[in-house]
Structure 1
Amino acid sequence: MHYPADMTEDPRTDRDPLPASQLARQIPAVLRKLRIRDLETLRWLGRTRSFARTAEAAAITQPALSKWLREIEDALGVSLFERTTRRVTPTPYGDALLERAERMLTDLAGVAPAMQALRDGLAQPVNVGILPGMASVLMPQTLARLEHTGPALRINLFEDTLDRLLPRARWHEIDLLVCRLDETAMNAGFGTVPLYEDDVRVFGARNHPLALHPSPGWPDVARYPWIVPPPGTPMRRAIDTEFAHQGLPLPRVIMESVTLMTNASAAQAMPCLFLASTLGVARSPLAPALHDFGLPFSHVAPTVGVLHGHAPSAATLALIEVLQDVSRTLATPFIMNKINVT
């Protein structure tokens, strides 16, 4: 039986060379030999920065892992990782390869969900990362809009802090990220779409002792215990920066939490304070039990928006358009709750 020539070969002669742009798109032989398992091993090495942990995850010996990596580096003619006695660190070449490996693995992981969505009559699922408190502002109306007017999308929602979601966006595990467009977000290398404005203020229980104060200031709220976000998050830095800017020591921290329901419930049990967005509180069932002290965090970016990759899918673009439409209906409420003194 006659087999056709290898499709990777081009029938042109030396007199009829391939255009440079097409040559650039050809896959080098060393990359053609890579298996999915190899891509996963690269990802483990990039994430753990450890030969020992990667070898354990890949179920191979460390010498075999070193030999495997050296063969790839020799074939590519570049160093992918810098080795020390304790860690390995990706070089710029390694970062470039890791980014593409992450993208390929994410795309492969999305094949089965995409097929299932199509079988269910839906578009490909869109993985959405969103910061705590923003889902209650955007998602109810977004889902209602999609249900009534389309398009038929399925949304996979991941609610977390920015320091956890940004790496997932870089690893292409999420298609878009809804967050505040602060310096970190704007310099992360993604496309941006502004959505709406929303203040972050000091909140407590409606029966908090300071709720009787006609105009409490930062020295007043500094005297009470606080529930704060975890270290390293933008909102934790906003608290630290605000009190430093006010010339005040940090208040006593009684718990670290980013969950509005938990924070609000704790505030009902004791006179503690926490930060929250005005829109997030206004759309919470606990809003009537909370008091807005009217103290905004001046170092928090007021604009909430979307971060997306440079080649978003049609489903992702459609969802962004719906988010924009929903955002136009939002208005930052003034929800200063005054207790009626009888």
Structure 2
Amino acid sequence: MKSVDAIVRRVTLRELRLLAAIAHSGSILKAAQEVGLSQPALSKALADLEETLGVRLFDRTNRGVEPTPHGSVFIRRALAVFDEMRRGVEELKVLTDSTGGEIRMGGTPTMCGGFLSHAVASMERERPGIRYKLLELESERLATEVRNRLIDIGIGREPPVRPDGELSFERLFDDPLYVVAGADHPLARRRRITLADLADQRWVLPMPQTPVSGQLRAAFERQGAAMPESIVTSMSVLVRHELLSTSRFLTVLYGSMLQFGNMPSRLRILPVELSARLSIGVYKLEGRTLSPATELFIESMKTFAARMRTASVDMLQRALRDR
């Protein structure tokens, strides 16, 4: 490769923008249409950039183009250039209007359906000029989207292994898991229940490989009981709500959903201790300067999370009955 200084002097923002378009579309033809160039002109621009760098950036396949290992590295850095430029423009706007700005974030379905939506609503009342882009993502994608700078922060469960040097995880609260039934379920009025009493009940549960099912399985194992077999397996919270309303099924829900989610009022938290909880927090990219609006939202979430740190079964049950 040429010297770093020689490459930096030759590579232009236009070339980086074209590179990003190709990476996003996975096709030179589609990218050319997006940026308003002919396909030959875009192909030549890519060839010139590859000549400057001295490496091949894309491999051509039957489905379009795919980044080479060299291309993946350079594309990630190119996207970071535009991200930092956008951040700079946003921060300049904030300096002239302290009530504005944009927050790009992702949250797990559980967080989006409860805690995070309420945190946004609370912040919006205080800072109506801020705009939000909120993506619902599975936990495994949060870190990836933050690392790729497609979102600024991710809110979800603590990763099973320590984040790498690029990412950090800041804990907000612990989210306890509860067994829940419809108000007319035979167990809803019992004051004492053991896990053994639940083994032969009709359950609706998420997929076996999810953290929810894993924590429930571990709770039963700790007490020497067999994990109940689910009659219905579904990731949909709406499906679980509807089946609970028949008072024939049990399920498990996290405290944040019971506290902040749009839960039916005719639910009952059963008096059984699972000793299961998830640590919920914020994913951030190390060394990346977040916008003032995003930093403000993180601080607002910390205050909002205090409600979960003082949550109890009685308080959650009252919250359900008051709806």
Which residue number in structure 1 is paired with residue 268 of structure 2? 291
Percent identity of equivalent pairs? 20
Matches within 5 A, 1:20-169: 27-32=8-13, 34=15, 36-45=17-26, 54-55=27-28, 57-58=30-31, 71-80=48-57, 90-104=67-81, 122-135=99-112, 136-140=114-118, 143-144=121-122, 147-148=125-126, 153-169=130-146
The residue identity in structure 2 corresponding to 1:274 is: T
Q: 1:172 aligns with which of 149, 164, 169?
A: 149
CA radius of gyration, larger in: 1
Q: 1:333 aligns with which of 298, 312, 317?
A: 312
Which residue number in structure 1 is paired with residue 321 of structure 2? none
- Partners in 2 of 1:219 and 1:24 — Cα distance? 71
Q: Using the TM superposition, give the Cα deviation of residue 126 of structure 1 relative to its aligned residue in structure 2, in angstroms.
A: 0.6
The residue identity in structure 1 corresponding to 2:167 is: F
Gaps spanning 5+ residues in structure 1: where?
Answer: 1-19, 46-53, 338-342
Distance 1:30 1:138, change over 3 A: closer
- Partners in 1 of 2:211 and 2:20 — Cα distance? 32
1:95-130 CA-partner distances (Å, limit 9, x unpaired): 322223444555678899999999987321111212
SS at match of 2:311: coil
Matched, 1:324 2:302: yes
Matched, 1:196 2:173: yes
- Partners in 2 of 1:38 and 1:320 — Cα distance? 33
- Partners in 1 of 2:216 and 2:60 — Cα distance? 39
- Partners in 1 of 2:146 and 2:210 — Cα distance? 16
- Partners in 1 of 2:39 and 2:7 — Cα distance? 32
Contact 2:204 2:230 in 1 (8 A): yes
Matched, 1:216 2:189: no
- Partners in 1 of 2:280 and 2:104 — Cα distance? 18
When structure 1 is superposed on structure 2, of 66-75 and 94-103 the one drifting more is 66-75
Contact 2:204 2:249 in 1 (8 A): yes
The residue identity in structure 1 corresponding to 2:312 is: P
**How large is the Cα RMSD of the aligned pairs?**
4.5
The residue identity in structure 2 corresponding to 1:273 is: L
1:126-159 CA-partner distances (Å, limit 9, x unpaired): 11212233343354356435634x5953333333
1:38-92 CA-partner distances (Å, limit 9, x unpaired): 31102333xxxxxxxx245335899998876555334212344567888976555
Q: Using the TM superposition, give the Cα deviation of residue 177 of structure 1 relative to its aligned residue in structure 2, in angstroms.
A: 1.1
Contact 1:204 1:291 in 2 (8 A): yes
- Partners in 1 of 2:193 and 2:165 — Cα distance? 39
1:206-249 CA-partner distances (Å, limit 9, x unpaired): 323343563231683465232415x8754465567767887846
The residue identity in structure 2 corresponding to 1:58 is: A
The residue identity in structure 2 corresponding to 1:332 is: A
Contact 2:170 2:281 in 1 (8 A): yes
Q: When the two structures are superposed, what TM-score results if normalisation uses the length of structure 2?
A: 0.70
The residue identity in structure 2 corresponding to 1:27 is: V
Contact 1:137 1:283 in 2 (8 A): yes
Matches within 5 A, 1:244-323: 248=226, 251-252=229-230, 254-259=232-237, 261-269=238-246, 271-286=248-263, 288-293=265-270, 294-296=272-274, 298=276, 302-310=278-286, 311=288, 312-323=290-301
Q: When the two structures are superposed, what TM-score results if normalisation uses the length of structure 1?
A: 0.67
Contact 1:204 1:264 in 2 (8 A): no
The residue identity in structure 1 corresponding to 2:108 is: L
Gaps spanning 5+ residues in structure 2: where?
Answer: 318-323
The residue identity in structure 1 corresponding to 2:313 is: F
Contact 2:201 2:250 in 1 (8 A): no
- Partners in 2 of 1:271 and 1:24 — Cα distance? 70
Distance 1:65 1:291, change over 3 A: farther
Q: Using the TM superposition, give the Cα deviation of residue 189 of structure 1 relative to its aligned residue in structure 2, in angstroms.
A: 3.5
Q: Using the TM superposition, give the Cα deviation of residue 190 of structure 1 relative to its aligned residue in structure 2, in angstroms.
A: 1.8
Contact 1:122 1:154 in 2 (8 A): no
